[in-house]
Each structure stands twice: as C-alpha cells, then as structure tokens.
Amino acid sequence: MSKKPFIIVVGLDYAEHSDIALVRAFELASRDAAAEVHVISVLPTVHASPLAPTKAQIEAEAASRRLKGHVEAKLQAFSAALTDPAAKPPRLVVSHIRFDLPANGIAQLASDLDADLVVVGTHGREGVARLLLGSVSEAVLHLAPCPVLIMRPKTTYEEPVIEPPCPRCVEVRETSGGTELWCEQHREKHGRRHTYHQSDLAGAETNFPLVNS
C-alpha cells in the first residue's frame, strides 16, 4: 500500500503575506519527497443570471492563467535559491480556482483533498482595523479540518518610549495647587479645560459640582 502524500493547501491573494505563505509551503514540501502543494485562489461568487455561467467561465479562465503563472514564477525562484542538497522542490504543485468566500473556499479544498496542513498569510492588522476588515486567516483557522499555519510579514517592533513629566508642568501643578495642569508650552497641546469628578465621599447624598480648569 503506497504512502499517502503529505498534502499542503495554500490560500493565495497575491498580497505579500500570501506569497510568504506560499514560499513557506514550498519549504515544508521540500523536506518530504511525497509532499504536494495545492494553491487556491478564491474568487467572489458570481450572482445568478442568464449570463452568469459565461461570465464565471471567463473569470475562472483568466484567474487560472494568472494563478498558474504566479505560482510557477515563485516555484522557479524557490528552486533556484535552494542550497541544501537534501531539499528538493515539491514534486507536485497544483493550482485551484474556486468561487466562494475566501475562508470557505480554502477550508473546503482542504477537506476535499483530506489535506494535512493549510498555510495562509495574514496582514497582521491589530485593533480596530482587524475588527472592521475581519481576518480570513482567523476564519480558516476555525473552519479548516486540519492544522493551520498562519504566516505574517516580518516587522520590527519598537517599544513605545514613555517620556518623563515636563518639569515646568510639575512646577505649575505645585504652585497652582492642581488648578492648572500644564505649562504654557503644553497648554496648547492639551488644552485648558479639564473636568474633575470628586468621588472620595462614597455614599454621600449630595451631587458634587464639576470644577473646570
């Protein structure tokens, strides 16, 4: 009985992060002579209409040519850069085009092929950008029937520098008894008006006034 090949599925959208994922898949496959790399580009679903089949076919053919050329170029560059004599280019690289939501299409192909690994890239967005734009890689992580490796562009993280307090601002706060917070220079940056909420007398029945500086 022949050994089942190690199947890697890669999601590609032509951005930097997906090319990083593609190269990583080539690297992993180069260590296993039986490994296969299946690269998928997912296109938006064509809305149903009398012309939809023709439109879908045209889009699929154009997308297929683009994907094949892109993958072949990356594979050639990867093969030319190999320096380890024990490493070999993947024995089989297959391109796939599907109409679907990106995460669904990637996960479904992984299921159809009984894949061993999915490799996808991520922009590495954080905070609000991630909430607004969503994350295909995160969705694939939840949907895929096999392990998922998420690749992101290498970035240099610099810890924020917290500056010491301005000595002139400190002096102003001391001399004014706290009614002024900023020196003349920083008053332009921070503004003059600040609202203070007195809350040291918990449970008092009176409403404390707001003091503005």
Same domain (yes/no): 146, 54: yes
Domain count, the chain: 2
Tokens 């690269």 found at: 39
Q: Which domain holds residue 179?
A: 167-212
Do residues 144 and 49 touch, judged by C-beta distance below 8 A?
Answer: no
Same domain (yes/no): 76, 47: yes
Which tokens hold the place of 25? Answer: 């898949």
Sheet of 36-43: strands edge to edge? 92-99, 36-43, 7-11, 117-121, 148-151
Q: Above 90 in pLDDT, residue 96?
A: yes
What average pLDDT is seen over the chain? 81
Same domain (yes/no): 122, 87: yes
Q: Is the pTM of this model over 0.75?
A: no
Percent of the chain with pLDDT over 70: 76
The maximal CA–CA distance of the chain, rounded, in angstroms, is 87
Q: Above 50 in pLDDT, residue 68?
A: yes
Same domain (yes/no): 147, 195: no
pLDDT, tens digit (0-9, with 9 covering 90-100), for 100-156: 999 999 999 999 999 999 999 987 555 444 443 348 888 999 999 999 999 987 765
